[in-house]
């Protein structure tokens, strides 16, 4: 047992006591600083480049909320972080496939070589019909963001096919909410108006704060944790939109027009290259009503539609595997894991092979 | 308003400030009572009436019991007090359970009344009951101040989920000044930090994995189900003992000492040992007011075993109005009875308990596995769900999703090492082995002291707390690391405390 203050042999005089107190305080401060330093060093490897100033040839995101993965992005000025790399070398002259979507496409939680794009590339090359895949994901974003980016993406990449990966959040009331960079208004004739939002407007102060915080891994981690803790109990944006929809009849009416407006607008933006991939937001064995609606709308408008719901459910039953969730999350909850990406990638490749084999160059 | 919320922190700071400026002890007591009523009303104001019922009835009954010399009159007032408490508990907690069972037996359509279970009813009725019984047994004088008695029943730190404090422990402390001291505040803050750590870093992290597996165990592999059960054993321990730590810490800052509720229960080497370490305040309550009240013929040993089983059956029912809880309690009762019978049999044959490490390890393992298996009944929503889970654990239903939850693998070694440190620390300071202390350097002694404080070794807890809180290098380093770990790695989901439902 450490000596307690009461075990001291003789009482100290005034100056000696003050000196001892000063020394103890000094040691205490050193102790706190040492702990901070150790945490700073320990957290350094997990800091994303997003918060660091300066250009990068490859942007790295280290995720530790869902598993532990390192994601690399090519900052080509398109999308939020740029093109999500696949870990495969591009094949010169091979046609390009564009995959656009939300956080499921950004896929921070899986390695580059496990992304759906990487799977498509590997399968296509194994079949001697090589493809280069470009993946652009916007975490938390919806259809208005994909539409706003469509022009620049097509102009820069000239893809042969453009897959837009959707789920129920992307084409519900959430697309009308002002909580994202882009949202939209849907008129009664299903025409849409894209509106640039004010979400997380960069002020000089905030910018300085983020840059300053970004210099310390510990400060950054604490900053983010405070954000997570303060948002405790508030529903996620998709759920919030659903709640609002239940209380706002006008919003509910407008939200009901979103699926058709989405199909029309995506068709207009991406043209004949477009095919919509529907990946349900949560696992379920039955097809969501929204998926059925979207499928019939696509059929009406002549837009190619691919559902991966059945493949995901089949894999779960046949192989007892979960396509979502990571080793540090609840089983089956969260973003698609490597298994989910593999299934979606295989389905996209199967679709491309079956539907467009005639137009694919063979080596 | 739970302990781990901004609203509670605000409330508590205001209470502490109020106690600090209150001019006298009586003012402080009244302020505490008002704060306790506010705390309870923040959940459902109308249920203050439910809280007031046992306060008024038991207050009057106890005074009548004390005033009367006639045994019959005393017994009648005792019966009135006990019956009113049990009726209150039965109505709010068991009405729907009884109706459902009557419907099953009679074949009629089940009826369900829309009754909201008042928070902490099982705890405050037990507190009130113990007071009336103590006065009847002449172990405690009746309290003649309604303010004081009301404060005893609805004292907010232990109101919702214990520890079940006795009037004989609480009421004498009312004579204290209730002035905060720096030392008590330090100890209290340490206890709160310890409780928050258990809740956020372990219990809530484990809940993320436990909930989905218990909800659909048939989907998962036997190994995954086993790991979920182990995770649940950690969850419920850290959730409940974390709450108790916070309650003790909050109360310490106020100036009132609450009894310890846990003492490293998973180190138990028999069911009897387990119940000496788990939810100590409830175990003691059941022993003193139920087990000892049951009829017994000392010439017939089986009467003791029967009474132990009955006590635990009722303990199961206290935990929840469901047959799974009754079965859980029954199994523990049987285990206790068997354990007592075995010990008595060995004693009759002149055998002393084995000190061999191998035997002790086997006893520990058997006890832990038994406790885990019974947790399945405790946690499952129904018998079929529990049976499905037990089938998986027994390997009778192979196959299913294999899921390795990494936080469990991280937490488990920490808990094991901490318990080992706790044991060593406890031994290092025990009178029989005090010579060993000299072999530990000062820093190791400090570490042991901290570990002892953290892992529920009751003796010398205070010194551990004091060492940790001293502004010296090691203390400051450990404290800063501890706080940062909780901030960075604690779960952020808002999970209610498990024992709130009881």
Dist CA A39 CA A356 (whole Å): 53
pLDDT (mean) for B394-417: 87
> Comparing A138-147, A298-307, A347-356, B292-301, which segment has the lowest mean pLDDT?
B292-301
Question: Which residues touch B80 (CB under 8 Å, ≥6 apart)?
Answer: B57, B61
Q: Write out residues 407-426 of B within 8 Å (CB-CB) of A.
A: 407
Q: Contact, A265 vs A143, CB < 8 A?
A: yes
> Which chain B positions have a beta carbon within 8 Å of A232's beta carbon?
492-494
CB-based contact (8 Å) between A25 and chain B?
A: yes
Can you name the residues that pair with A73 across neighbouring β-strands?
A59, A84
Q: Between the ranges B45-54, B424-433, B448-457, where is the mean pLDDT highest?
A: B45-54
Residue in chain B nearest A321 by alpha carbon: B401
Higher per-residue pLDDT: B115 or A134: A134
Question: Which residues touch A13 (CB under 8 Å, ≥6 apart)?
Answer: none
Closest by CA to B167, choosing from B152, B147, B148, is B152
Q: pLDDT digit string (tens) for A297-350?
A: 999 989 899 999 989 989 988 888 999 999 888 898 889 999 999 999 999 999
pLDDT at residue A224 tops 80 = no
Inter-chain CB proximity B443 and A2 less than 8 Å:
yes
> Which chain B positions have a beta carbon within 8 Å of A333's beta carbon?
212
> Which chain A positions have a beta carbon within 8 Å of B217's beta carbon?
none
Q: Write out residues 167-196 of B within 8 Å (CB-CB) of A.
A: none
Catalytic residue chosen out of the listed positions B190, B319, B340, B419: B319
Q: Indicate the pTM of the whole model.
A: 0.82
Q: Among B208, B428, B442, whose Cβ lies nearest the Cβ of A2?
A: B442
Per-residue pLDDT, A5: 43
Can you name the residues that pair with A71 across neighbouring β-strands?
A61
Q: How far is A173 from chain B (nearest CA, A)?
A: 25
Inter-chain CB proximity B475 and A322 less than 8 Å:
no
Inter-chain CB proximity A27 and B221 less than 8 Å:
no
Q: Write out residues 425-464 of B within 8 Å (CB-CB) of A.
A: 428-429, 437, 440, 442-443, 445-446, 448-449, 460, 463
Q: Among A1, A43, A330, whose Cβ lies nearest the Cβ of B449?
A: A1
**What is the DSSP secondary-structure string of B411-433?**
HHHHHHHHHHHHHHHHHHHSGGG
CB-based contact (8 Å) between B468 and chain A?
A: no
pLDDT at residue B41 tops 70 = yes
> Which chain A positions have a beta carbon within 8 Å of B406's beta carbon?
327-328
% of chain A surpassing 70 pLDDT:
81
For the beta carbon of residue B384, count every other beta carbon within 10 angstroms. 9
Q: How far is B196 from chain A (nearest CA, A)?
A: 14
pLDDT (mean) for A269-280: 90
Q: Among B212, B446, B478, whose Cβ lies nearest the Cβ of A332?
A: B212
Q: pLDDT digit string (tens) for B419-448?
A: 776 666 666 554 444 444 444 444 445 544
Q: Give me the phi and psi of B456, to 5 degrees please.
A: 65, 25
Q: Among A1, A4, A31, whose Cβ lies nearest the Cβ of B477?
A: A31
pLDDT (mean) for A34-56: 73
Inter-chain CB proximity B449 and A38 less than 8 Å:
no
> Which chain B positions have a beta carbon within 8 Å of A29's beta carbon?
476
Three-state DSSP state, A329: coil
For the beta carbon of residue B201, count every other beta carbon within 10 angstroms. 22
Q: How far is B453 from chain A (nearest CA, A)?
A: 13
Dist CA A225 CA A335 (whole Å): 20
Per-residue pLDDT, A226: 76
B319 is catalytic: yes
Per-residue pLDDT, A7: 45
**What is the DSSP secondary-structure string of A257-290?**
HHHHHHHHHHHHHHGGGEEEEE--SS--SSPPHH
Per-residue pLDDT, B191: 83
In a mutagenesis test of the A interface, which of B201, B484, B491, B494 is the best target, namely the one with the most A β-carbons within 10 Å? B484
Model confidence band, residue A202 (pLDDT cutoffs 50, 70, 90): low
Please state, in angstroms and as integers, the Cα–Cα distance from residue B141 to each residue in A52, B59, B65, following that order.
69, 12, 10
Inter-chain CB proximity A228 and B492 less than 8 Å:
yes
Per-residue pLDDT, B498: 60
Per-residue pLDDT, A356: 65
Per-residue pLDDT, A71: 87
Q: How far is A132 from chain B (nearest CA, A)?
A: 34
Tokens 């037996």 appear where?
Answer: B105
Q: Among A4, A32, A332, whose Cβ lies nearest the Cβ of B480?
A: A32
First to last CA, chain A: 76
Inter-chain CB proximity B473 and A4 less than 8 Å:
no
Higher per-residue pLDDT: A235 or B184: B184
A176 DSSP assignment:
G
Inter-chain CB proximity A27 and B449 less than 8 Å:
no
Percent composition of chain A: helix, strand, coil (DSSP 3-state, to 5): 50, 15, 35
Model confidence band, residue B497 (pLDDT cutoffs 50, 70, 90): low
Inter-chain CB proximity B487 and A222 less than 8 Å:
yes
pLDDT (mean) for B41-59: 89
Q: Write out residues 209-248 of B within 8 Å (CB-CB) of A.
A: 209, 211-213, 219-221, 224
Q: Contact, A91 vs A118, CB < 8 A?
A: no
Which spans in B430-490 are helix H? 442-454, 461-469, 473-489
Strand order in the sheet with A83-84: A59-63, A69-74, A83-84, A132-137, A96-101, A161-166, A274-278, A304-307
> Comparing B87-91, B174-178, B262-266, B377-381, which segment has the lowest mean pLDDT?
B174-178
Inter-chain CB proximity A1 and B220 less than 8 Å:
no
Q: Write out residues 34-53 of A within 8 Å (CB-CB) of B.
A: 34-36, 38-39, 43
pLDDT at residue A292 tops 80 = yes
pLDDT at residue A6 tops 50 = no
Residue in chain A nearest B209 by alpha carbon: A330
């Amino acid at each position: 047992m450490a000596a307690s203050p009461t075990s001291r042999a003789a009482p100290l005089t005034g100056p000696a006591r003050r000196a001892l107190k000063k020394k103890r305080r000094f040691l205490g401060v050193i102790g706190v600083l040492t702990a901070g330093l150790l945490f700073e060093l320990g957290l350094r490897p997990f800091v994303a480049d997003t918060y660091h100033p300066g250009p990068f040839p490859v942007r790295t995101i280290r995720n530790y909320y869902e598993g532990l993965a390192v994601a690399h992005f090519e900052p080509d000025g398109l999308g939020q972080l740029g093109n999500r790399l696949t870990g495969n070398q591009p094949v010169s002259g091979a046609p390009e496939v564009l995959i656009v979507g939300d956080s499921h496409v950004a896929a921070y939680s899986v390695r580059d070589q496990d992304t759906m794009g990487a799977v498509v590339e590997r399968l296509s090359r194994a079949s001697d019909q090589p493809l280069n895949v470009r993946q652009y994901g916007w975490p938390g974003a919806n259809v208005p963001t994909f539409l706003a980016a469509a022009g620049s993406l097509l102009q820069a990449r000239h893809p042969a096919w453009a897959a837009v990966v959707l789920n129920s959040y992307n084409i519900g009331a959430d697309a009308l909410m002002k909580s994202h960079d882009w949202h939209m208004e849907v008129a009664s004739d299903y025409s849409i108006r894209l509106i640039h939002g004010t979400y997380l407007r960069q002020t000089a102060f905030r910018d300085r704060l983020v840059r300053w915080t970004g210099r310390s891994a510990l400060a950054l981690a604490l900053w983010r944790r405070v954000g997570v803790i303060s948002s405790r109990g508030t529903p996620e944006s998709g759920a919030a939109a659903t709640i609002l929809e239940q209380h706002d009849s006008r919003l509910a009416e407008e939200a009901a027009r979103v699926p058709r407006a989405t199909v029309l607008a995506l068709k207009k933006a991406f043209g004949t290259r477009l095919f919509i991939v529907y990946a349900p937001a949560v696992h379920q064995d039955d097809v969501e009503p929204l998926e059925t609606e979207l499928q019939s709308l696509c059929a009406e408008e002549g837009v190619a539609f691919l559902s991966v719901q059945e493949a995901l459910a089949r894999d779960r039953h046949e192989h007892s595997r979960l396509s979502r969730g990571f080793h540090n999350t609840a089983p089956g909850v969260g973003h698609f894991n490597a298994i989910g990406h593999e299934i979606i990638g295989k389905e996209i490749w199967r679709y491309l092979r079956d539907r467009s084999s005639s137009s694919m160059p063979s080596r | 308003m739970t302990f781990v919320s901004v609203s509670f922190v605000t409330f508590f700071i205001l209470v502490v400030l109020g106690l600090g400026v209150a001019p006298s002890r009586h003012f402080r007591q009244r302020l505490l009572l008002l704060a306790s009523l506010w705390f309870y009303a923040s959940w459902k104001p109308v249920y203050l009436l439910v809280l007031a019922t046992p306060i008024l009835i038991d207050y009057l009954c106890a005074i009548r019991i004390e005033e009367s010399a006639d045994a019959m009159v005393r017994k009648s007032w005792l019966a009135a007090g006990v019956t009113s408490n049990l009726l209150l508990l039965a109505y709010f907690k068991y009405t729907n359970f009884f109706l459902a069972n009557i419907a099953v037996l009679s074949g009629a359509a089940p009826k369900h009344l829309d009754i909201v279970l008042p928070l902490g009813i099982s705890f405050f009725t037990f507190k009130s009951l113990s007071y009336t019984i103590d006065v009847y047994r002449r172990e405690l004088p009746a309290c003649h101040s309604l303010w004081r008695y009301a404060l005893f029943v609805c004292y907010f730190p232990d109101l919702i989920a214990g520890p079940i404090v006795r009037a004989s422990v609480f009421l004498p402390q009312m004579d204290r000044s209730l002035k905060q001291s720096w030392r008590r505040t330090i100890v209290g803050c340490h206890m709160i930090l310890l409780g928050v750590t258990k809740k956020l870093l372990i219990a809530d992290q484990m809940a993320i994995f436990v909930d989905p597996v218990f909800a659909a165990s048939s989907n998962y592999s036997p190994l995954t189900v086993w790991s979920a059960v182990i995770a649940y054993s950690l969850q419920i321990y850290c959730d409940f003992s974390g709450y108790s730590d916070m309650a003790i810490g909050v109360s310490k800052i106020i100036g009132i000492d609450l009894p310890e509720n846990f003492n490293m229960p998973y180190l138990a080497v028999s069911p009897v040992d387990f119940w000496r370490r788990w939810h100590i305040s409830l175990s003691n309550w059941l022993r003193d007011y139920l087990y000892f009240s049951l009829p017994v013929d000392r010439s017939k040993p089986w009467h003791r075993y029967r009474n132990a089983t009955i006590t635990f059956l009722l303990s199961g029912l206290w935990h929840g109005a469901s047959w799974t809880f009754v079965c859980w309690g029954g199994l523990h009762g049987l285990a206790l009875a068997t354990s007592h019978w075995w010990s008595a049999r060995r004693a009759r044959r002149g055998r002393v308990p084995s000190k061999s490490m191998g035997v002790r390890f086997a006893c520990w393992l058997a006890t832990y596995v038994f406790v885990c298996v019974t947790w399945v009944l405790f946690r499952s929503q129904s018998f079929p769900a529990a049976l499905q889970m037990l089938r998986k654990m027994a390997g009778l239903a192979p196959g299913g999703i294999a899921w390795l939850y990494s936080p469990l693998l991280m937490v488990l070694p920490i808990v094991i090492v901490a318990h080992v440190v706790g044991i060593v620390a406890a031994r290092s300071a025990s009178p029989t082995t005090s010579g060993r202390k000299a072999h530990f350097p000062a820093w190791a002694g400090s570490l042991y002291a901290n570990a002892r404080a953290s892992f529920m070794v009751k003796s010398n807890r205070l010194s551990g707390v004091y060492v940790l809180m001293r502004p010296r290098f090691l203390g400051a380093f450990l404290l800063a690391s501890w706080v940062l770990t909780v901030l960075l790695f604690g779960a952020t989901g808002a999970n209610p405390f498990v024992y709130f439902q009881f």
